[in-house]
């Protein structure tokens, strides 16, 4: 079970540590203090995950049961790699029989069983390259992509929403029937058209805010479960048109 870490220091490091005033700007010092005192950061180190983001996926899975039985997974915006670590584990992926494809424009240290593409997901070649790398229809397309911040909140918001939308269309293009799509989004940010498209293609669409997603952050996750399949949606549209 994914337990929310409490204020103790299972990693042996004390919480509530202060960073000495020095060369750092006040904002950087506040960030560093928050980071080193974050129980999820400490727990990630203890459990061998590359990022605290691991617990977001594990918590979502605990409630919505998306990972069990997945044979192939595509991870969008994968670096530094904690979601890919989980994906490789649940799919029993190995370098000899890789079942996880991951993409990020940043570098990522290799993970056994993960085929990594260092590429912008918005590059026109990215979808084909990911399909080639995964070698079969994935059961999960997951995206933790967030656009690099520009300092202009609305611009950042729109860019991340755009990534979410492109990821959703990619998911509908590649997923195996019954598969799931999970993507980072923002509170109140999911476009009505995107929600409509997902509801048409998936059996269930929900927004999730895991406890490990910082309360002050507007980050949320959009989960679309049970892909109806490309043919099924085409057929139901034809049926509707005939009515």
Ligand X SMILES: C[S@@+](CC[C@H](N)C(=O)[O-])C[C@H]1O[C@@H](n2cnc3c(N)ncnc32)[C@H](O)[C@@H]1O
Residues of the shown chain interacting with ligand X in the complex, contacts defined by CB under 6 A = 50-51, 53-54, 77-83, 103-106, 120-122, 144-147, 163
Report yes or no: 115 and 102 within 8 Å, Cβ to Cβ. Answer: yes
Q: How far apart are CA 94 and CA 87, in angstroms?
A: 11
Report the nearest approach of ligand X to the CB of residue 169 (Å): 14
Determine if residue 173 is labeled as part of a ligand binding site: no
Which is catalytic among the residues 25, 129, 184, 225?
184
Nearer to ligand X, 36 or 51 (CB): 51
Report the nearest approach of ligand X to the CB of residue 236 (Å): 32
Give the nearest residue (CB) to ligand X. 77
Residue 20 a catalytic site member: no
Report the nearest approach of ligand X to the CB of residue 123 (Å): 8
Report the nearest approach of ligand X to the CB of residue 19 (Å): 23
Q: Phi and psi for 22 in degrees, rounded to 5? A: -165, -125
In terms of C-beta density within 10 A (0-12 exposed, 13-18 middle, 19 or more buried), how is residue 215 classed? exposed
Determine if residue 81 is labeled as part of a ligand binding site: yes
Nearer to ligand X, 216 or 238 (CB): 216
Helix (H, G, I), strand (E, B) or coil at 102: strand
Report the nearest approach of ligand X to the CB of residue 104 (Å): 4
Q: Which residues pair with 220 in a beta bridge?
A: 185
Q: How far apart are CA 203 and CA 183, in angstroms?
A: 16
Determine if residue 144 is labeled as part of a ligand binding site: yes
**Helix extents (H) in the chain:** 26-36, 39-47, 54-64, 82-90, 126-134, 153-174, 192-201, 230-242
Q: How far apart are CA 65 and CA 204, in angstroms?
A: 13
Of 26, 116, 19, residue with least CA distance to 76: 116
Determine if residue 77 is labeled as part of a ligand binding site: no
Determine if residue 123 is labeled as part of a ligand binding site: no
Instruction: Please name the helix (run of DSSP H) or strand (run of DSSP E) that holds residue 225, with its range, or none.
Output: strand 219-227
Instruction: Please report, in range form, the residues annotated as the binding site.
Output: 81, 83, 104, 120, 144
Q: Which residues are catalytic?
A: 184
Instruction: Please report, in range form, the residues annotated as the binding site for S-adenosyl-L-methionine.
Output: 81, 83, 104, 120, 144
């Amino acid at each position: 079970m994914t337990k929310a870490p409490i204020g103790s220091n299972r990693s042996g490091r004390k919480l509530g540590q202060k960073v000495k005033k020095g060369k750092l700007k006040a904002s950087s010092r506040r960030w560093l203090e928050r980071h080193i005192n974050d129980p999820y950061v400490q727990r990630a180190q203890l459990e061998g995950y590359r990022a605290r983001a691991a617990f977001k996926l594990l918590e979502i899975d605990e409630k919505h049961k998306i990972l069990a039985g997945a044979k192939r997974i595509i991870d969008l915006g994968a670096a530094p790699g904690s979601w890919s670590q989980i994906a490789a584990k649940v799919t029993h992926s190995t370098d000899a029989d890789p079942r996880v494809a991951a993409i990020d424009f940043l570098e990522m240290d290799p993970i056994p069983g993960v085929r990594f593409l260092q590429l912008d997901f918005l590059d026109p070649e990215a979808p084909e390259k990911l399909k080639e790398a995964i070698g079969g229809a994935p059961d999960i397309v997951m995206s933790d992509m967030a656009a690099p911040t520009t300092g202009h909140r609305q611009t950042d918001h729109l860019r991340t929403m755009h990534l979410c939308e492109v990821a959703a269309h990619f998911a509908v293009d590649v997923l195996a029937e019954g598969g799931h799509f999970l993507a980072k989004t923002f509170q109140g940010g999911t476009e009505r058209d995107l929600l409509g498209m997902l509801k048409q293609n998936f059996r269930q669409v929900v927004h999730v805010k895991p406890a490990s997603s910082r309360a002050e952050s507007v980050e949320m996750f959009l989960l679309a479960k049970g892909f109806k399949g490309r043919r099924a949606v085409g057929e139901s549209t034809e049926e509707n048109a005939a009515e």
